Amino acid sequence: MEQTNNGGEAAKRPVFLTVLCILSFIAAGFAILGYIAVIGLMGAASAVSGMASDMSSEMGSEMGDAMSAAMAATPGVGLTWAYIIVGFLTTIVGLFGVIKMWKMNKSGFMMYAGATVVSLIMGIVYSGFGASIMGIVISAAFIVMYGLNMKHLK
């Protein structure tokens, strides 16, 4: 899978960039499968939540209060759906960016970096900064490592 540059010589992808792209392909594949599973499970969770609210109205006030408190401690359904949709879309955009970098295009870096930053912001909004520290570190490391390969991209 070689491309030619303006001089007619074969432009080779650096090994470091190849390894980064392969790791990103694997991560994106797992993320896409995970998001598909979560979307399926959200339907089941909303059905269970509807049954729980019906049961709490039939049970005593203590049990109903306990279930209401448990439901109030979790993020809202709308925010959860927003997180899932934004996460899924940023994964797809990031994957397209990695594919473009695999093909040695600089525009792929901007797509990947933008999608990663949006995904991090949504993660911080959804679960707070403390819960997102590891994701921030790993994402920043990948952006920096891809940035080090910018000189090889055209």
Mean pLDDT over 18-47 rounds to 90
- pLDDT score of 74: 61
Q: Report CA 58 to chain centroid distance, whole Å.
A: 40
How many percent of the chain have pLDDT more than 70? 73
Task: Give me the helix-helix angle, 77-102 and 15-58, nearest 10°.
Answer: 170
Q: Give the domain ranges of the chain.
A: 14-152
User: What is the per-residue DSSP string for 54-79?
Assistant: HHHHHS-HHHHHHHHHHHHTSPPHHH
pLDDT above 90 for 20: yes
